[in-house]
Amino acid sequence: MIKKIVTIGPESTGKSSLCTQLAAHYKSIWCPEYAREYLLKNGMNYTYDDLLTIAKGQLKLEASILDELTFKISSRKDEDLLYPTPCFIDTDMYVMKVWCEFVFDNCHRFILEQIVERKYDLYLLCNNDLPWVKDELREYPDIASRQKLFAIYKDILVNQDVPWVEISGQNEERVHLAIKAVDKIIAGE
Domain spans, the chain: 2-187
Pick from 93, 68, 88, 73: nearest CA to 181: 88
pTM exceeding 0.85: yes
Q: Tell me, what's the pLDDT at 81?
A: 59
**If you average pLDDT over every residue of the chain, what do you get?**
92
Q: What is the DSSP string of 49-85?
A: HHHHHHHHHHHHHHHHHHHHHHHHHHHT--TT--SSE
Q: Tell me, what's the pLDDT at 142?
A: 80
Q: How far apart are CA 187 and CA 132, in angstroms?
A: 35
Q: How far apart are CA 107 and CA 49, in angstroms?
A: 10
Cβ neighbours of residue 34 closer than 8 Å, sequence gap 6 or more: 54, 57, 58, 60, 61, 91
Q: Tell me, what's the pLDDT at 59?
A: 98
Q: Tell me, what's the pLDDT at 73?
A: 82
Q: Tell me, what's the pLDDT at 135?
A: 76
Q: What is the mean pLDDT of residues 92-104?
A: 97
Residue 48: φ, ψ to 5°: -55, -45
- pLDDT tens column, 100-158: 999 999 999 999 999 999 999 999 999 999 887 777 777 777 889 899 999 999 999 99
Under the banding of pLDDT at 50, 70 and 90, the label for residue 77 is low
Which has more pLDDT, 70 or 114?
A: 114
Asked if pLDDT for residue 78 goes beyond 60, the answer is: no
Q: Which fold has domain 2-187?
A: Rossmann fold (3.40.50)
